[in-house]
Structure 1
């Protein structure tokens, strides 16, 4: 109680004398101001944001990430921000933010007067841009993931068929991601001999068709393979503190040992496997899956003593820095780095489509600029099992939403699930992307140096003008306002225009601020350029 009282007194003094920042001991209580809105660094909460005095919700960054990127930060429309180098639990309750279960010092910072100024302060001081970006091809062309079509039956014949079908059905070659179960076993990163008769020939053919090829990998090792025995001898796994043996964790596909990537031997081994795949087969990059902090919780010991679960998650993120063609879903405190960050697998439903914009925008104000909105139509494989009902309109609207985001990724084959009319509209969405690809590339290149988000909240560009709860439209940089259709059956939609002149794709000029209603037939994506 005394520590909490001292922190409260310090906060009062900070507010009174106008200090920009203070390191506060332990737990922290922050009173939420009137008309103040907060974005925590939890991407999975995106569609619920921003939080205000009426919010009642808690989240523990120590043990959870919602399946996506997190950041030890809360950032406000008033220009305030909360930051710590270590994880903590936050709770919004009765008009206050309670910061508890802290692992280090917490800073409450009066960084500026609005969300943009607070973000820029955080970016400069806590996660400065690296000057690098993921491989440009990730943005320039569509990505195609084999997961939904093949699931756990990844094999040479069907992968090549999928690639040929992409081109035969009018889509351009792009980045082809070969997903889980191409490998011999978890931790045995060799092409499975029974499913890949000649992987070198497969890679040569895919490259000849114009594809870049990525392989799915994870930080797990099956306990009944020879790699496990060799790595155990090197003490390269996390250790169960109770037994002294490699810790086994349950994940979505079984039980495995987890690499201790604080150990130089584990890092050396993992990178040697990835490098060999590149040298021997010409693999271009990797989809690095898992790495969630929940896999590192409990009574575990690591090579570097005292590492938090989140620090283990960040260690997995560091692996990708050596491979420009990379993709992550789970991440901790690697903002500003050249890592492609995908949203968590989404269901095949309209509610999931609604989440794309606010979650992608939350990635932006958390410092993760290089973003991918999961897979078109959804990446949750259970939505596509035999007998599932496919909503063709949803596939089209999902493709349109992706088309004007930093990256777009197919998985379910649109030529298989769509009739000719809907397939054409899906292909048209890819062509519409060509209209903004130069803008996307310019923004991506700027982000690597400036740290600015590519996808931006309306509140970010137009602070304190009532845009804080706009969740169904977004800004690409400063000049493009995108308002995709995300409701089933809608052929019109309301668009909230900020101040200034805005030109529609049909050449009509509107002057904001005001709300307009525009036509949005199934083959159109409403977006506007600032004049």
Structure 2
């Protein structure tokens, strides 16, 4: 199709969200931005061909497009379809609901309740590529001995013999089925890291090549070798229905063999799939279609997690924010990025790992110089989100005071689990985000650029610390609000509050 170029002039005071979850901290978008290409860029997180505005308008594509802003004018480029702006209502919420109802309606299904009622623990930062049975069982026991709740336990990359193989390494896991049984017996559900990649020089790759189940080099009858963050590999061609079914059955067999509950579906990033040398089984497929098919695999496994996908709004998939650095900037990005995920249709999203997913930060820790306040504030933000995930072990990096605070908020998240679960079930019917922008809930009250407060459902407003310090300003919407200390406030005004390290400020709407 000939390239379509669409120019959308701004309305007075209009601002836009959407496209890439990872850009949430830049939303609403500035008057001038660089161009983003949803077919080739995902910035380590989810992408959806959707843009929505504070004035009730939206743009939706069935295919990836390019977009940028020039002096508040939205410029769109599509090689697949003619795009247009649609007036869905008068404000951000009405625009989102109009778009979601028409283009990605709520499925009526949720992920498993445990995602919302208990914390998650991921072995990546503690073990990196040295996943092994002894250390995994020790980590799980340390969760209990340090007074943290049990929950979902994710065994990360390099548990398997190689990519495309789904058996545990015998040298590292002498009794994997017994390990899973023991972890189950102390209260954990178990998920395994998987990707669509296949180690090129392996028996599995040769078998899959013979079956025609791998992405090929264009014009050749040989598998393409894709470069990704952990080397160069062949890749399942999930646009081939037979390859899709084969991989799904392999995962089912893995569940049956070892007793695991589900999978962390990593990779699938369009940035690794957009080479012009790739040839998919489906001749009309591209990187975005591949990413969507990889996400569809998760629909067969109620215990699932994704860091990247294309479209898939309204579906019972657990999404997670991409790995962020250990920094106060990254802490301040958690709220706007979570809001962006929700506005792209991903209601069931987990923030990044507590403290960030940059494993190098947590090597050779000196507790005397390490900023423990950052870990605690990150943990507090997670505690009032739909999900929270630990990876670095808090008991390894924190002194007793800060460890006890993190344990307290892990337990707090558990006590809020019933509310999170009820909100998740409502989202499965309405399609609304669980984590909501203040402008979404209270349009026209001065919250357009608010990035340090959020609503979860329609009952609680959360105003955590996202910078170093022990005080902050909170802007209250109209209505009557009761804070976490029982104090009642009349809304429609700004207040200054003290936030000692032990406190997570939140406000319940009581009128």
Common fold by TM > 0.5? yes
Q: 2:413 aligns with which of 433, 452, 469?
A: 433
Residue in 1 that maps onto 2:439 = 459
Matched residue of 1:159: which SS? helix
- Matched with 1:505 is 484
CA distance in 1, matches of 2:189, 2:109: 20
Deviations 1:389-438 (A, max 9, x none): 63211111111110000000001111111111111111111122244322
1:146-168, CA deviations, whole angstroms, 9 ceiling, x for partnerless residues? Answer: 01100000000000000001001
Aligned with 2:353 (options 359, 375, 378):
375
Counterpart pick for 1:285 among 262, 267, 270: 262
1:49-448 counterparts in 2 under 5 A? 49-52=27-30, 54-299=31-276, 300-386=278-364, 390-448=370-428
Structure 1 residues 297 and 439: CA distance shift in structure 2, 3 A: same
Q: List structure 1 runs of 4+ shifted beyond 4 angstroms.
A: none
CA deviations on 1:120-173 (whole Å, 9 max, x unpaired) are: 001110000111111111111000000110000000000000000100110111
Provide, for residues 83-129 of structure 1, a one-character-per-residue CA deviation record: whole Å limited to 9, x for no partner.
11111100101231110143123131011111111100011100001
Partner secondary structure for residue 4 of structure 2: coil
Alignment correspondent of 2:508: 529
Cα separation, 1, equivalents of 2:339 and 2:63: 23
- Stretch of structure 1 that moved more, 479-488 or 241-250: 241-250
Decide which moves more: 335-344 or 390-399: 390-399
**Cα distance in structure 1, aligned partners of 2:73 and 2:390:** 42
User: Secondary structure of the equivalent of 1:332?
Assistant: coil
Across the two proteins, how many residue pairs are aligned to each other? 506
Deviations 1:463-513 (A, max 9, x none): 12220100011001111000111111x111111110011101111111111
Contact 1:77 1:464 in 2 (8 A): no
Between 327-336 and 461-470, the greater mean CA deviation after superposition: 461-470
Query: Per-residue CA shift, 1:234-274, capped at 9, x if unaligned?
Result: 11111111543211111111100111101122112211221
Measure the CA separation in 1 of the matches of 2:396 and 2:272. 36
Query: Structure 2 CA distance, aligned partners of 1:385 and 1:248?
Result: 32
Unaligned 5+ segments in structure 1 are 4-24
Q: Distance in 1 between matches of 2:505 and 2:19?
A: 29
In the aligned structure 1, how far is the partner of 2:410 from the partner of 2:283?
49
Task: Report the Cα distance in structure 1 between the residues aligned to 2:296 and 2:90, rounded to whole angstroms.
Answer: 34
Please give the secondary structure, in 1, of the residue aligned with 2:106.
Answer: coil
Q: Which moved more, 1:82-91 or 1:237-246?
A: 237-246
CA distance in 1, matches of 2:392, 2:365: 15
Which of the pair has the greater relative contact order for Cα pairs under 8 Å at 6+ separation?
2
